[in-house]
Amino acid sequence: MKERLVIIGNGMAPGRMLEKLFELAPGRYAVTIFNAEPRVNYDRIMLSPVLSGEKTYEQIVIHGDGWYINHGITLHKGTRVTAIDRVAKTVTTDNGLVEPYDKLVIATGSVPFIIPVPGHNLPGVLSYRDLDDVDAMILAARSRGNAVVIGGGLLGLEAAAGLAEQGMQVSVVHLMPTLMERQLDPAAGYLLKKAIEERGIRVLTGANTKAITGNGRVEAVELEDGTRIAADLVVMAVGIRPNGALGKAAGLTVNRGIVVDDQMRSSDPDIFALGECVEHRGATYGLVAPLYEMAGVLARTLVDEPAAYNGSVTATKLKVTGIDLFSAGDFAEAPGREEIVLRDAARGVYRRLVLQDNRVIGAVLYGDTGDGAWFFQLLREGADIAEMRETLIFGQGYAGGSPLDPMAAVAALPDEAEICGCNGVCKGKIVAAITGQNLTGLDQVRAVTKASASCGSCTGLVEQLIGLTLGGDYQPAEMKAMCGCTDLGHDEVRRLIVAKQLKSIPAVMQELEWKTSCGCSKCRPALNYYLLATWPGEYVDDNQSRFINERAHANIQKDGTYSVVPRMWGGVTSAKELRAIADVAEKFNIPTVKVTGGQRIDLLGVKKEDLPGVWADLNAAGMVSGHAYAKGLRTVKTCVGSEWCRFGTQDSTGLGIRLEKFTWGSWTPHKVKLGVSGCPRNCAEATVKDIGIICVDSGYEFHIAGAAGLEVKQTVLLCKVASEEEVLEYTGALMQLYREQAHYLDRIHKWVKRVGLDSVKQQIVEDGERRRALFARFVQAQKHAQVDPWAERVNGAFAHEFKPLADLRLAHAAE
């Protein structure tokens, strides 16, 4: 009698295994298969093309009914095995069959993971695993209604693209900040998100699903932040779990999956496991390539040939037409690893290789994945790439290709992109002037178009445009690069952020072809500021790109403690505030209380863990952060002025308080300090401040560009105004111009020196319309900026920043 081989599950892995087995020993086994799905073996991978309508079920069948008949296989469709009796060596099914085996193969695949949020079992909530799911989705799509896909990984995105193809309004809700974060790095994740959105699919990242709601049927998905998305269909694609339940119930060793050795044998010598339900050397797999390797090994084991499975490296592709991505191996940072990055913004290409000991250990490709297979081969072979390191990133076909063009970003700008912000000149106009009037140099372009004729920040870009238009003859002056991550200078980056509407750090890095995958401590804080200043209320601050003082909203001290400086508007305080400060100092054992050079009180030596407590008490007494740590408004120093002083000409104290209440909270390229003195005796030292007001009988002198730090700079008089209202308008306008034009870490005096006092005068004093527009933009930005960061943190924001991850001292004491 033939040996009896029973297989549980009729998926892709056992299908491949049987093909091999019949090749090796055609008549050896009598095969019986039980399959819970009521159908033959089909290509599960191709479900997405079935969903999108590109293929039919018939086209993806791997083994038709005839194949089973030809090989004498008994296939029980729609029959689930419910138990394995290892002593009697039988399996029992849900319809009462008891089938004996000599050898048993468990190939039960995976089960989709369902997040147990309220409403997860409402009708209309589907997973994405088999043909029944696809049929249900296609049926639901006939309504052309709204679909929400929970999960932005491989399956979720394929489902989303398919449903959109079927005419549904699709939203993808993803918990992590970038899509497919397990296979892609943030740069590639950014490109993927853009491509998905271009298909009309809404993508919500960093979004945590709170509940699925509906009356008898799904109607909406609710997120943790309160957002509600209407839904006629919800697809949950948040991951899979190896299906080891049967094995576990039968007493086999099961961890995450059914544990097998290198021959695919479970802890019972007559029972084998294969496919996604398996755990081999601690690893589980969710892609077919490794399962096919397992299948070959098992077939040979079943005919007593020596064979061993040694684990696999996997590569991922996304099967959405028009989106090319590839990732393989390991690209986490770790000891001894280096990276090579190539970006081509115009073509939407991003490539990153991770190397260790001159070998490729990880690869991420987006946009142009033609070399994926080659990189994957180098990776699997562990090939030594030292010889071709310089050109490796360009791929296999590289034949002395050209280096990246630093002008590409400018070349790729649309004609209507604004190059000169001061005079509102766009790219098309400059190019037209150069060609139309045969211009050959910067001065001519300036004279004709006015571009770069004011502050000059866009000079580099204008020169590049001249170079691009005239070809090789024109040599633009070299730009001073922001840092080693880019060839572009601060001005160019700032202008391109506006012109190309770039709204996140990964967007800037991709579109402007950064040479590293995630920047450095020089460019990241600068980009964070530029984005914040350009898109107030829209850009989400990147806390991890900030220096510790701005991240923790306190100044770090030499011993790692912090100092806390509450605002004291215009240097004026009260008994109540002083009492609260005294109480806080005592309650938290704060060692030093000092009056600062900025007319307020510094509490020095506060432990980081105590910061939220200290702030809570100060908040309770009405005090807010003094931003003593910020590239932003610091202090407004005042003198007593006309209210008390026998020489005072105006209410300098009151004006100082007004100015501080107007400007606090704003983020600026460097710190900004103001001073208001009640008369030219200048007791508030206003003439060494970034903006200084000297009150005189007839009104107010408006001084700018002073400093008393590493360099001592006396202010220059910009103009004289008559009223407090005008002082506020000029101050807001000047701060905004500084915010828009300065390089990160340049104080006002450095910025004025670079763009020229005349340019500032022209825009603030002479051009009233421009001044009022600047003022209005400042007011607008302040609406989003004037939130007390201390109060936010007292209420729980960024709690992790202030707590140690673990306190082993306490743990040990308690044990």
Partner 1 sequence: MIMTEEWIDIGTLEDIPRRGARVVKTARGDIAVFRTMDDGLFAMDDKCPHKGGPLSQGIVQGDSVTCPLHNWVISLRTGEAQGADHGCTRIIAVRLEQGRVLLSWPGMAIQAA
Ligand X SMILES: Cc1cc2nc3c(=O)[nH]c(=O)nc-3n(C[C@H](O)[C@H](O)[C@H](O)COP(=O)(O)OP(=O)(O)OC[C@H]3O[C@@H](n4cnc5c(N)ncnc54)[C@H](O)[C@@H]3O)c2cc1C
- Residues contributing to the site for ligand SRM (CB under 6 A): 555, 557, 563, 565, 594, 596-598, 600, 602, 628, 634-635, 637, 671, 673, 707-711, 747
Residue 352's beta-bridge partner residues?
A: 341, 364
Name the minimum Å distance from CB 670 to ligand SRM. 7
Per DSSP (E only), the strands in 312-458 are 315-317, 325-329, 337-344, 349-356, 359-366, 418-420, 425-426
Supply 443's token pair: 């001065």
Angle between helices 724-741 and 652-663 (to 10 degrees): 40
Name the minimum Å distance from CB 261 to ligand X. 18
DSSP annotation string for 146-199: EEEEE--SHHHHHHHHHHHHTT-EEEEE-SSSSTTTTTS-HHHHHHHHHHHHHT
For the chain, the C-alpha Rg in angstroms (whole number) is 34
- Contact between 540 and partner 1 per CB under 8 A: no
- Contact between 242 and ligand X per CB under 6 A: no
- Contact between 646 and partner 1 per CB under 8 A: no
Element (DSSP H or E) covering residue 69: helix 65-70
Name the minimum Å distance from CB 556 to partner 1. 5
Name the minimum Å distance from CB 518 to partner 1. 5
Name the minimum Å distance from CB 707 to partner 1. 21
Residue 571 and residue 61: Cα distance in Å, rounded? Answer: 79
Q: How many chain residues are in contact with partner 1, going by CB under 8 A?
A: 39
- Interaction residues for ligand X, span 245-264 (CB under 6 A): 246
Only segment of 84-92, 427-435, 674-682, 805-813 that touches partner 1 (CB under 8 A): 805-813
Compose the 490-529 pattern: x for residues touching partner 1 by CB under 8 A, - for all others.
--------------------------xxxxxx--xx----
DSSP annotation string for 70-91: HTT-EEEET--EEEEETTTTEE
Name the minimum Å distance from CB 205 to ligand X. 22
Q: Which residue number, 226 or 560, has a Cβ lying nearer to partner 1? A: 560
Torsion, Cα 529 531 532 538, to 10 degrees, reads: -160
Name the minimum Å distance from CB 2 to ligand X. 22
Supply 455's token pair: 């502050």
- Contact between 761 and partner 1 per CB under 8 A: no
Q: Which residue number, 177 or 428, has a Cβ lying nearer to partner 1? A: 177
Task: Measure Cα distances from 674 to 301, 690, 692, 755, 777 in Å.
Answer: 81, 6, 6, 21, 20
> Residue 513 in contact with residue 473, Cβ under 8 Å?
no
Supply 384's token pair: 């030594």
- Shortest Cβ contact with ligand X: which residue? 11
- Write down the H helix ranges in 322-426: 372-381, 408-411
- Contact between 185 and partner 1 per CB under 8 A: yes
Name the minimum Å distance from CB 81 to ligand X. 4
- Contact between 162 and partner 1 per CB under 8 A: no
Which of the choices ligand SRM, ligand X, partner 1, none does residue 768 contact, using the CB cut-off of 5 to 8 A by kind?
A: none
Which of the choices partner 1, ligand X, ligand SRM, none does residue 628 contact, using the CB cut-off of 5 to 8 A by kind?
A: ligand SRM
Q: Which residue number, 93 or 227, has a Cβ lying nearer to ligand X? A: 93
Which of the choices ligand X, partner 1, ligand SRM, none does residue 108 contact, using the CB cut-off of 5 to 8 A by kind?
A: ligand X
Supply 761's token pair: 């005068």
For the sheet containing 228-230, what is the strand order?
Answer: 209-213, 220-223, 228-230
Q: How many CB atoms lie within 10 A of CB 358?
A: 13
Supply 676's token pair: 């208001």
Which of the choices ligand X, ligand SRM, partner 1, none does residue 333 contact, using the CB cut-off of 5 to 8 A by kind?
A: partner 1
Which of the choices ligand SRM, partner 1, ligand X, none does residue 596 contact, using the CB cut-off of 5 to 8 A by kind?
A: ligand SRM
Q: Which residue has the tokens 């689930």?
A: 80
- Contact between 286 and ligand X per CB under 6 A: yes
Closest by CA to 637, choosing from 671, 594, 668, 678, is: 678
Name the minimum Å distance from CB 317 to ligand X. 6
Which of the choices ligand SRM, ligand X, partner 1, none does residue 658 contact, using the CB cut-off of 5 to 8 A by kind?
A: none
> Residue 196 in contact with residue 339, Cβ under 8 Å?
no
Q: Which residue number, 573 or 596, has a Cβ lying nearer to ligand SRM? A: 596
CB-neighbour burial class of residue 478 (10 A; exposed 0-12, middle 13-18, buried 19+): exposed
- Contact between 44 and ligand X per CB under 6 A: yes
Note the residues at the interface with partner 1 (CB under 8 A).
185-186, 331-337, 516-521, 524-525, 543-549, 552, 556, 558, 560, 800, 804-812, 815
Note the residues at the interface with ligand X (CB under 6 A).
8-14, 34-37, 44-45, 47-48, 80-81, 107-110, 128-129, 155, 158, 243, 246, 275-276, 286-289, 291, 319
